[in-house]
Amino acid sequence: MQQVTILGSTGSIGISTLDVLQRHPEKYNVYALAANKSVDTLFEQCLQFQPTIAVMLCPDSACQLESKLREAGSPVQVQSGIQALEIISGTEQTDIVVAAIVGAAGLLPTLAAAKAGKRILLANKEALVMSGALLMREVQANNAVLLPVDSEHNAIWQCLPVGETQQYQFEHQGIRRIILTASGGPFRDWALADLESVTPEQAVAHPNWSMGQKISVDSATMMNKGLEVIEAHWLFGMPSAKIEVVLHRQSIIHSMVDYMDGSVLAQMGNPDMRTPITNTLAWPQRIDSGVEPLDLVKAGRLDFAAAEFERFPCLALAYQALNTGGTSTAILNAANEVAVEAFLNRQIKFTDIARIIAEVLENVSITPADSLEQILAADKMARAVAQQQMRVVCSH
């Protein structure tokens, strides 16, 4: 029986993970569930899955959860705070850690899982974007197994010759490039001039995937694809020049690997995150995920188009940050988190997101990203400068 910790269990990935786990009760047991402050959802999950521990980042929420559980006669232990998240990720009692917290908040518990040599199912791409070198180093040093849940990276991983991300030696394996597919989000066909007036409701309505709010906005700006380029760089040891992005509106091909002999391997399937979750959970086995079989006749056609930087300036900013290196990707990520939240709160326009990130990248000094201290300092500074830039934008 494999013991599973789910960081971010109340979110879109967390809920899909629990859906897969309940299909295989003989294989997996939920050891711990963790969320920020969604008390009601975590309460229901505790009753259904009976973990040993439930953690809420927010102490007030943890108190509410605890009293609800006691009232219901449930023995689930409740804890709160970031240290508790690190403990449930690194404890001997768990085998698999599903890293599905959104944003920079996922970094420390993911690092704790790496240091403890766990099998990590990584959805929290921001952790790799912030600290790719550091996280990969910890994974290697502690024999952790880092498996990509992000659908594109999971597709690439399935199309690569070796089963573990950290073992690739591209020159020897005849790989020419990685091709990440992108749906293009809800505004792929809009006139550029109309993007100024996009509302949060329009931005979170993704045409193909149902996801959390932040990643939905990231998909609309294509910062999500930019973060994924950086994620692919670290996961697969690929230089940015060999990572390409192509628009593919149906989201049936989840990504591709192009080999020197002209073979292009693609992984296909319905756009449903239970496929990559199940794939990483059961690897090297294949088990049922609950995903509908792909009906290619119904899909009818697969279209491809170039991803233009003019329409998607955030994608260009991500390549720029990756090429600059050091803390610039942590700065990019922090600025993006601040800008996306401000957009969701109607403080800035959709098109201000890229403007603010560009300003922050210009104005925060970049250092090497060898230590956690350097990365967290860059993250903090970038958030402060992003707040300043927002005041500039809002006063116009």
Query: What does each C-alpha distance from 130 to 124, 154, 322, 373 come to in angstroms?
Result: 11, 20, 11, 12
Residue whose pair of structure tokens reads 């294989």 in the numeric block: 27
215 binds ligand NAD (CB under 6 A): yes
What, of Mg ion, ligand NAD, none, does residue 158 touch, CB below 5 to 8 Å by kind? Answer: none
Instruction: List the interface residues with ligand NAD, window 82-101 (CB under 6 A).
Output: 100-101
Separation CA 248–CA 4 (nearest Å): 34
Distance of closest approach, residue 286 Cβ to Mg ion, in angstroms: 21
Nearest residue (CB) to Mg ion, 150 versus 352: 150
Distance of closest approach, residue 8 Cβ to ligand NAD, in angstroms: 3
209 binds ligand NAD (CB under 6 A): yes
Among 3, 5, 14, 45, the residue binding ligand NAD under the rule CB under 6 A is: 14
Q: Are 81 and 88 in contact (CB under 8 A)?
A: no
Separation CA 329–CA 261 (nearest Å): 33
Nearest residue (CB) to Mg ion, 80 versus 151: 151
Instruction: List the interface residues with Mg ion, window 44-63 (CB under 5 A).
Output: none
Structure tokens at 348: 């800035």
51 binds ligand NAD (CB under 6 A): no
148 binds ligand NAD (CB under 6 A): no
For residues 138 to 157, the per-residue mask of contacts with Mg ion, x marking binding by CB under 5 A and - elsewhere, is ------------xxx-----
Nearest residue (CB) to Mg ion, 11 versus 51: 11
Among 3, 4, 5, 12, the residue binding ligand NAD under the rule CB under 6 A is: 12
For residues 159 to 198, the per-residue mask of contacts with Mg ion, x marking binding by CB under 5 A and - elsewhere, is ----------------------------------------
Distance of closest approach, residue 109 Cβ to ligand NAD, in angstroms: 8
> Quick one: CA dihedral 279, 280, 284, 285, positive or negative?
negative
Backbone angles phi, psi at 259, to 5 degrees: -100, 160
E-strand ranges in the chain read: 2-7, 28-35, 53-56, 77-80, 96-99, 119-122, 145-148, 175-182, 243-247, 253-259, 264-268, 305-306
Q: Are 148 and 122 in contact (CB under 8 A)?
A: yes
278 binds ligand NAD (CB under 6 A): no
The helix (H) or strand (E) run that includes residue 227 is helix 223-236
369 binds ligand NAD (CB under 6 A): no
For residue 348, give the nearest of 308, 386, 381, 311 by alpha carbon. 386
What, of ligand NAD, Mg ion, none, does residue 84 touch, CB below 5 to 8 Å by kind? Answer: none
Query: By the criterion CB under 5 A, which residues form the site for Mg ion?
Result: 150-152
